[in-house]
Amino acid sequence: MGPLTLMNAKTKKKTKVTLMEANATQLDVAQNTADIMVMKNDLTEIKTNQKHLDGQIEKLDKKVEKIDSRLWAIMLLVVGSAIANYFM
């Protein structure tokens, strides 16, 4: 494809413009740029979800500790009552 001649409406100058086809490297760079932007968005979403999950895990840990202490208390009551019955 040969050069095109364009005319500027204000200055009445003619300008030659050559159209170039994108080569494989330019297309690869454009695709890689788009892929990197998608990956950055994914990383941001993962970081946000990680913070959210950390908060939920802390809440669950507190609940598990509370249940664990209650089970120990029940076990001590059972063992204590068994020992008390032994001596009666």
**Secondary structure of residue 50 in the 3-state scheme:** helix
What is the three-class DSSP state of 53? helix
Q: How many CB atoms lie within 10 A of CB 40?
A: 10
Chain-wide mean pLDDT for the chain? 84
Residue 39: pLDDT over 70: yes
Q: What is the pLDDT of residues 52-73, one digit of tens each?
A: 888 889 999 999 999 999 999 9
CA dist 10 → 4, 5, 7, 15, 17 (Å): 19, 15, 9, 13, 17
Which band of pLDDT confidence, cut at 50, 70 and 90, is reported for residue 48? Answer: confident
Where are the chain's structural domains? 62-88
